[in-house]
Amino acid sequence: MQNPISQTLESVCQRINLATNKTQAVTLIAVSKTQPIEKILQAYAAGIRDFGENRTVELANKVKALAHLTDISWHFIGNLQTRQSLVVAEHADYFHALDRLKIAQRLDKQLQTTNKILPVFLQINITGEPSKSGFAANRWQHDSKQREQLIANITTIMQLDNLKILGLMTMAEFNTSADITRQTFTDLRQLSEFLQTEIPEFNAPELSMGMSGDFELAIAEGATYVRVGQAIFGERQ
């Protein structure tokens, strides 16, 4: 029987290849939140090794159920409540939504007990929407206070030995134009470039941006990790 996911997956991979310039390595994270284990196994059989989850209980359950597949990388992409951070410290291989200092410090402490180093992305609120999490950076080019606050936060996180900052993550506005979405991704890339030159030893050039509706625009603006759910698995229930 044909693997039910192979067609949608192949089409997503083709679209990624078309959007990518030849030097840009893009990691596709299959966002498997709300999807049953069976679908993850189908994606795994089709070659996917990176999966994204956004609920701690669901992450823990899936990691346990699939512990025999030792080459899976689990990406936690959701915002994390303080009291749930241990699940991410224990089970996540990457964390994409580090959005405040307190979580960083708590995770670092929990990771110390197992000597684990967790690769993280700093979630950046680049659109300024009040509903969005992330370090504020909607006015970073014009507002020196906001810029300095961001740099201070990053510098503090860089001193935590058990977190390794890979780069920045953001989400575009929902239901907006392609132009505005693309501008959001441009802004994040430019912020990343600015931080590389501004903060000594901030070697974190990765960009986690792009979802089912906008991953091609994100790749055109330099995304190195895209988080794609529904375009692979179909609509979530």
Ligand X SMILES: *Cc1c(COP(=O)(O)O)cnc(C)c1O
28, 63, 122, 211: which one binds ligand X (CB under 6 A): 211
What whole-number distance in Å separates Cα of residue 207 and Cα of residue 227?
A: 11
User: Which residue in 33, 100, 106, 189 binds ligand X (CB under 6 A)?
Assistant: 33
* 133 binding ligand X? (CB under 6 A): no
Between 154 and 169, whose beta carbon lies closer to ligand X?
169
Report the residue from 35, 54, 85, 170 that binds ligand X according to the rule CB under 6 A: 54
Q: Is 111 in the site for ligand X (CB under 6 A)?
A: no
Using alpha carbons only, how large is the chain's radius of gyration in Å?
17
Number of residues that bind ligand X (CB under 6 A): 13
Contacts of residue 211, Cβ cutoff 8 Å, sequence gap at least 6: 31, 171, 226, 227, 228, 229
**Does the footprint of ligand X cover residue 80 (CB under 6 A)?**
no
- The interface region with ligand X, picked from 80-88, 144-152, 172-180, 225-233 by CB under 6 A, is 225-233
157 counts as binding ligand X under rule CB under 6 A: no
Rounded Cα gap, residues 30 and 53, in angstroms: 9
- Closer residue to ligand X in complex, CB, 158/209: 209
> Least distance from C-beta 27 to ligand X, angstroms?
13
Long-range contacts (CB closer than 8 Å, 24 or more residues apart) made by 177-183: 178/214, 178/217, 181/214, 181/217, 182/217, 182/220, 182/221
Q: What CA–CA distance (Å, rounded) separates 190 from 193?
A: 5
Please choose, out of 36-44, 136-144, 175-183, 226-234, the segment that lies near ligand X by the rule CB under 6 A: 226-234
